Amino acid sequence: MENGSGTVKAVSDAAQPARSAKPLAGRVIVIDPGHNGGNYKHPEIINKQVNVLTKWKACDTTGTATNDGYSEAAFNWDVSLRLAKLLRAKGATVKLTRADNTSAGPCITKRAAIGNAAKADAAISIHADGAGPSNHGFHVIMPKKINGPVDPVVAKSRKLGITIRDAVHKGTGQAYSTYIGKNALDYRSDLGGLNLSTVPKIFLESGNMRHAGDAAKLKDPAFRQKLAAALAQGFQTFLRSASRP
């Protein structure tokens, strides 16, 4: 502004309109695209047994596919890239557990370790299921206490899971699972990606690739974008309400 002498007078910072910060600025989110497109080529890698504390399991698996061959690994990768882009636009730092959809792994233990090393505010493993053809709908998997490293974040993981469940249902119209869990919520103690996590983390099973209706949605880029947008909104809701560590 100008004073009476015609010179420009600086406006103090306090008088400047407050700039709205990006809603996820300063937050770290880890996205784990389940499986990998090259897993089937490397059984010597993915069949190696690893300790997930409650049992020994294969390092990874190939995942499932629709009846006409659209792979779960490709679906997981596509949704993860879409979600990462949306979260970064909201100011978040985003780390993915794999860099492509052509190689093998990493093992489920390494996927958990990536989230832990990043000290993520929240983490998600994105999947689609391969159940009987009459089953449909999505569900969220959350950890149980196992007297292990996940125990301190079980409550926050449950809150994250419910928030993501609600966001996906509202944002995509996808039905709750008809065959697993209650109201699209399931709790497990046999998943290394959850058992070994020291940060709030969930798994999303986005639908059943063997059900004709679900498969049509999962193959549709417009649906995958809608799902990514719903997940981004779910993370924003969760992190807005969660206290910083």
**CA end-to-end distance (rounded Å), the chain:** 43
Q: Is residue 10 part of a domain?
A: no
Q: Render pLDDT for 196-221 as a digit per residue (tens, 0 to 9).
A: 999 999 999 999 999 999 999 999 99
Cis bond leading into 106, ω under 30°? Answer: yes
Q: Is residue 19 part of a domain?
A: no
> What SS3 class is residue 66?
coil
Give the residue carrying structure tokens 């419910």.
162
**Domains: count for the chain:** 1
Q: What type of residue is 134?
A: S
Q: What CATH number did the domain enclosing 110 receive?
A: 3.40.630.40
Q: Is 44 a catalytic residue?
A: no
Q: Is residue 103 part of a domain?
A: yes
Amino acid 16: pLDDT = 45
Q: Is residue 51 part of a domain?
A: yes
* pTM, two decimal places: 0.91
**CA-to-CA distance for 230 and 12, rounded, in angstroms?**
40
Amino acid 20: pLDDT = 58
Query: Quick count: other Cβ atoms within 10 Å of Cβ 220?
Result: 12
Domain ranges, residue 101: 25-241
CB contact set of 104 (below 8 Å; sequence gap of 6+): 36, 38, 39, 41, 42, 45, 46, 60
**CA-to-CA distance for 122 and 167, rounded, in angstroms?**
15
Q: Is residue 70 part of a domain?
A: yes
Q: Is residue 35 part of a domain?
A: yes
Q: Is residue 119 part of a domain?
A: yes
> What SS3 class is residue 1?
coil
Catalytic option among 2, 44, 72, 205: 205
Amino acid 242: pLDDT = 74
Angle at 178 between CA 87 and CA 168, to 5 degrees: 15
Q: Is residue 11 part of a domain?
A: no
Counting as low any pLDDT under 70, the low residues of the chain are: 1-20, 243-245
| Residues linked to residue 122 through DSSP beta bridges, in sequence order | 29
